[in-house]
Structure 1
Amino acid sequence: MQRTIELADFELPRGTISIEQLMAMPWETWNHLRNQINRRRQKEPDRPLARCRLCKGPVFIRSRFTAEGHLPLYVHYPESPTDCPWYQGTNLTPDNARAAQYQGHQERALHRWMCDTIAEMLRRDPRCTALTVDTYRRPKIEIRGRYPDVYAMLEGLAEFAIEVQLSKPFAPEIAARHLHYEAEGVALIWVFRELEDELPQGFHDVITLQRGNAFLFDDVALAASIERGTLMLSALLENDRGGYLKPRLVTLDDLDRSTGKAIFLKDRRSEKLEEYCRAGRVKWWEAFAAAPPAKFSYPFSQTDFIPAWDSIKTFVPELRPWKRECWSERSYRGDRHFAELAAILFSIARTATTGNERVYVTRYKGDGCLLAMLNAKLSSQAFMPYADLIATMLAATPVRDRLNKPSLRQVIDDARQNAAQIGPGHPVWMGVTRLFPEIFDGVRRAELEDLNRLPAWAGGTASATPDRDPAPPADS
């Protein structure tokens, strides 16, 4: 079973030329290439123009005469490793040959080529002061070091560990590498050659850690790297339909390293998460701006609150039968009752956001108005069942100090003694969770906290910004 060298890596800018591409070339083209290989061999034998992708040994082009004319083939020079699976020496048995061809050799060869080529592109960057390929890096902090596929230090920018991933990575190893390089202060980038239509879960794990970003070192990135004289990558960002936006060429300078945990061009996952949180509140802020309590004796009966109620019952269908239950068992309008409870919680959020007390459910104003409103509402029979819910909201925000006020402590204790408290799973609690997932949705709150994206009004350390915090459209 005759073997052949399937891929040869030429010195740039030629790049990789497969055996199929070589055999398809016009005679004049491959013959010129053959002559250039021979010239380099004579002039600089230690710096071959072409190497076998698999063993990195030098290769040349042999011309074989056939009935159809001369055909070019790659051949190892004598000093190339004889154990290369593509070596043309003594033939292997058919079974061993098939094993050599298909048990990972081609993938490992591509991996090696990508690592070496990425390193070459980094070497061309004048800022590169340190560069290694598959070399042990002694740790600064961690107990043991690592063997990054490519390590580079770019002066004035950062240290980078680039992991080339072609086969399915395993979740424990992905996490271990991220933790290691995070502790070491090294920016970790996972680089693929391509994205298949059906990606293994390990690829999705990597893309998740990179906040919805996939980086490729494909032919387009290679050509751009050669032109720019530095490493370029094709960045694919997730779109809203389960696919990716049009690829963009980026340099390492373009990437965001601010989280210290992941590196990306643009955080696509956090944007979606924050948009999900805002979407549940937008109609309510509009209603509070249009129908503030100071202008109406019964603001929650105003038509401006109809779209707000429609939005929340769409998000939480369980509120529909609860509304009917409110009327049949308690003789009050469930939609208006929920709106009044929402106003209590939005008053907490508004005050926590700006630091200035502002309430939407009473006409109290100025310093102390939030505490006065909470005392009044929780003292009423209608809102006693929500003492736990309201206390949960307060405890998670910067206005949690109100819980230490003796008057409010007493009111909450009385409410708990005199009324059964609703909890998670109740339609109202579910509705409030959709309004303020940063507080009541444990999964989403934890994810925001992990990413340092939990807004300040919800008890996070992130700076308060209009995009992250529930500030109303206009100060009403």
Structure 2
Amino acid sequence: MYAHYPEASRECPWHEGNTLRPDDARAAQYQGHQESALHRRICDVIEQLVKADPRCTHSAVNTYLRPAIHKRGRWPDVYADLSGLRRFALEVQLSKPFAPEIAARHVHYDDEGVALVWIFNALEDPMPQGFHDVVAMQRGNAFVFDDEAEAASLERATLVLKCYMEDGVGGWRTPRLVVLDDLRTDVGRAVFVEDCRSEVLKRRCKQQRACWWNAMKAAREARPHSPFYSDTYETVWTALKDDVPGLALWEQEFWAARSDRGRAHAAMLYAILCSIARSADTGRPILFITRFSDDSAVLSMLNSKLSGADFKHCAHLIETFVASTPLSDLLEKPSLKRIVKEARETDEQIEEDHPLWQAMARLFPEVLDGLVRAELDDLGQIPRWASPISGTETAR
């Protein structure tokens, strides 16, 4: 959702008054016109270059594309049907794109069997967030049509794009020239040359959780009878407070309301979620909190923790977590259904905007961070423990 900061200019067309339609907002960027002269020129040139390919059976600029499935179609900047290859929607992006529109277009064209390619004229530094969203959807690939790409296109009599690929450390690899034949269009909704996101994203998901895993192991050795109050958690807790806005303030409020350490509470919640994840991954109960050990140990742990005052406020979070794992059928157990219902009715639940939820989303983004989960889903990389359908990854 869009929001305005207190210091934002009141001249912004979205600051007050009626909500603007996307077309009106886009027109405002170009002094009343739907597109700039440069945008139109690039679209025309790209269409002519695509048309020069002997396989092109149809091409069009800003022309209504009748849908096969949806009730309404789209007006792609450039549409091209290359026989034996694919149908393409080529979107030339010069201004900051709107995030909802990016996602909606990917869903629409994927359902229609059309490959969507976002094309920039140049990569800005720093790059606007909207451009980052586009690159993320294209698995770390940014396609640019500049003077060099245009010259190569004229020489080869087909559309040539310059492809920048993320290097995994915040920069770009040396760009390479590619043609539409080089693009992968067979995996998810993304169009890309090389997947630069999957391994980086999965590694980032595991990295901070691994620090807490090590802290939990050290705490169990240092204070076997009260591990969650061990100072071995201090480093990872401090790092988490630096990453999550509002977590430090919540820690103070938690102490004032409950006379207990927020750090220890978060460590226990991590142990509960880690127990669920590991048990879901291995198919057998593995708990890092409570001493239950039989086949119903996970259910007993959940019943015990959610019926007590300490974690009633986390019922919605834990329910959401369990629902996204192979252990989701536990939520249908009468005992747990009753306890979750009672917790929801008797204690105010933390939601996705709560600092504690956001902290756990840093540690378990595959489940609790909606954007990360959606990207992993599109990549086909949701791990086994984070999906009711078994996969191939581990929970540690």
TM-score w.r.t. length of structure 2: 0.67
Displacement after TM superposition at 1:225 (Å): 6.3
Mapped contact 1:387–1:421 kept (Cα < 8 A): no
Counterpart of 2:144 in structure 1 is 216
What are the Cα deviations for residues 366-406 of structure 1, in whole angstroms up to 9, with x where unaligned? 52221222233334443344334333322333312112223
Give the 3-state SS of the residue equivalent to 1:423 in structure 2: coil
CA deviation after TM superposition for structure 1 residue 193, in Å: 5.0
- Whether the aligned pair in 1 keeps the contact of 2:268 and 2:289 (CA below 8 Å) is yes
Question: 2-side partners of 1:329 and 1:166: how far apart?
Answer: 51
The residue matched to 1:464 in structure 2 has which SS? coil
Superposition pairs for residues 150-229 of structure 1, below 5 Å? 151-153=80-82, 155=84, 158-161=85-88, 163=90, 165=92, 181-192=109-120, 194-195=122-123, 207=135, 209-218=137-146, 220-221=148-149
Aligned equivalent of 1:134, options 60, 81, 93: 60
Return the alpha-carbon distance in structure 1 between the equivalents of residues 245 and 95 of structure 2. 41
Query: Tell me, what secondary structure is at the counterpart of 2:295?
Result: coil
Query: Distance in 1 between the 2:122 and 2:311 partners?
Result: 57
Number of paired residues? 357
Structure 2 unpaired stretches of 5+: 1-34
Label 1:221 to 1:344 Cα distance change in 2 as closer, same or farther (>3 A).
same
The aligned runs of 1:234-253 (5 Å cut-off) are 234-238=162-166, 244-253=172-181
Q: Is the 8 A contact 1:131 1:150 kept in 2?
A: no
Show CA shifts across 1:47-101 (max 9, x none).
Answer: xxxxxxxxxxxxxxxxxxxxxxxxxxxxxxxxxxxxxxxxxxxxxxxxxxxxxxx
CA 1:192–1:370 in 2, change beyond 3 Å: closer, same or farther? closer
- Residue 398 of structure 1 corresponds to 326
> What's 1:389 paired with?
317
Find the partner of 2:271 among 330, 338, 343.
Answer: 343
Aligned residue number for residue 357 of structure 1: 285
Q: Which residue of 1 aligns with 2:244?
A: 316
**Matched-pair contact (CA < 8 Å) for 2:58–2:82:** no
CA distance in 2, matches of 1:332, 1:106: 61
Q: Write out per-residue CA displacement over residues 239-270 of structure 1, whole angstroms, 9 at most, x where no aligned residue.
A: 67876443123343442323443312345677
Letter in 1 for 2:317: L
Greater Cα radius of gyration, structure 1 or 2: 1
CA distance in 2, matches of 1:146, 1:399: 44
Distance 1:227 1:303, change over 3 A: farther
Between the aligned partners of 1:200 and 1:430, the Cα distance in structure 2 is 24
SS in 2 for 1:357: coil
| 1: CA distance, partners of 2:242 / 2:130 | 35
Give the letter aligned to residue 343 of structure 1: A
> Which residue identity is paired with 1:338?
A
Shift of 1:183: 3.3
Residue matched to 1:115: 47
Q: Is the 8 A contact 2:162 2:175 kept in 1?
A: yes
Q: Separation in 2 of the partners of 1:456 and 1:132?
A: 43
Query: Could you tell me how far apart the structure 2 residues matched to 1:223 and 1:459 are?
Result: 47
Give, in whole Å, the separation in 2 of the partners of 1:147 and 1:326. 52
Alpha-carbon contact 1:437-1:444 (below 8 Å) kept: yes
Q: Quick one: higher RCO (CA 8 Å, sep 6+), 1 or 2?
A: 2
Matched, 1:282 2:214: no
CA contact (8 A) 2:328 2:388 kept: no
Distance 1:308 1:200, change over 3 A: closer
* Alpha carbons 2:140, 2:165 under 8 Å: kept: yes
CA shift for structure 1 position 218: 4.3
- The structure carrying a bigger helix percent of its residues is 2
In the alignment, does 2:299 pair up with 1:371? yes
Q: Aligned letter for 2:90?
A: E
Distance 1:115 1:302, change over 3 A: same
Identify if the C-alpha distance between structure 1 residues 388 and 159 changes in structure 2 by more than 3 Å, giving closer, same or farther: closer
Letter in 2 for 1:153: L
Deviation at 1:351, TM superposition (A): 2.0
Does structure 1 residue 261 correspond to structure 2 residue 193? no
Q: Report how far residue 361 of structure 1 moved.
A: 0.9
Secondary structure class of the residue paired with 2:47: helix
Three-state SS of the structure 2 residue aligned to 1:250 is strand
Listed one character per residue, the Cα deviations across residues 171-203 of structure 1 (whole Å, up to 9, x for unaligned) are 699778656643331323344554466989987
The 1-side partners of 2:227 and 2:336 are apart by 25
Matches of 2:101 and 2:225 in 1, distance apart?
62
The 3 A distance-change label for structure 1 pair 303 and 255 is farther
Structure 2 distance, partners of 1:152, 1:371, is: 54
SS in 1 for 2:284: coil
Question: For 1:134, what is the secondary structure of its paired residue?
Answer: strand
Q: How far apart, in 1, do the equivalents of 2:347 and 2:278 lie? A: 28
